[in-house]
Amino acid sequence: MSTKTKSAKSSSDMATDMSLEASAQSAEAAAAAAGEQLPTIEFVSPMPGFPGRTSFVLVRLDEVGLLNSLRSVDDPELRLITIAPHQFFPEYAPEIDDETIAALGTKDPSQLLVLLIVTAGDTPRDSTANLMAPIVVDPMTMRAAQCVLTGSNLPVRAPLA
């Protein structure tokens, strides 16, 4: 990434950003239209709040996978926005318990993908990430779990900015 803008973005930057999201959406839509299966991630058990929903598709919303969307296969209206932790929380190093590792069928815990669910605020700077209950995905087994880090005192709503 070479260009850095300081404050106001130029309209061509905004257009590029919007076309990234639009192209991510149309990538999903095109795949669906072509009857292609985007790889599905199976949750070991449904996340609290979404009973019965265990199959999700992970779609990148930016070029590098910092921002992703997790969309329910069975309820296309249901979508969670997730971020990779390191951009905003570089020190974040959750300890994933053995039960979860076993449930995910993980052979190599260092390969686990950790995603934080983002609650979008009224402005992006009001947005928060759930550090207490990350989503952990094993890219080999394609299984996932929302891991509750009880006793960690990590915030459920950590501000991004």
Contact footprint for other proteins (CB under 8 A): 1, 3-6, 9, 14, 17-18, 20-21, 44-50, 61-64, 66-67, 69, 77-81, 83, 87-88, 99, 102-103, 117-121, 123-125, 127, 130, 132-133, 146, 148, 150, 156-157, 160-161
Burial (CB < 10 A; 0-12, 13-18, 19+), residue 113, is middle
SS3 for 111?
Answer: helix
In single-letter form, the type of residue at position 115 comes to: L
Q: Of the two residues 79 and 107, which places its CB atom closer to other proteins in the complex?
A: 79
Helices (H) and strands (E) in the chain, counts: 2, 9
Compare residues 35 and 123 and give the one whose CB is closer to other proteins.
123
How far is residue 90's CA from residue 9's CA, in Å, rounded to a whole number?
Answer: 26
Of 35 and 116, nearer to other proteins (C-beta) is 116
Closest CB to other proteins among 35 and 73? Answer: 73
The β-bridge relationship of strands 128-129 and 113-119 is antiparallel
Q: Which residues contact 141 (CB under 8 A, 6 or more apart)?
A: 104, 105, 106
Distance in Å, CB of 85 to other proteins, minimum: 12
How near is the Cβ of 79 to other proteins at its closest, in Å? 5
Q: Provide, rounded to whole angstroms, the least separation between the CB of residue 12 and other proteins.
A: 13
Smaller CB separation from other proteins, 21 or 35: 21
Spell out the residues 6+ positions from residue 143 whose beta carbon is closer than 8 angstroms to its own. Answer: 41, 42, 43, 44, 103, 104, 105, 137
Minimum distance, C-beta of residue 11 to other proteins, in the bound complex (Å) = 13
Residue type, 99: E
Write down the least CB distance from residue 35 to other proteins, Å: 25
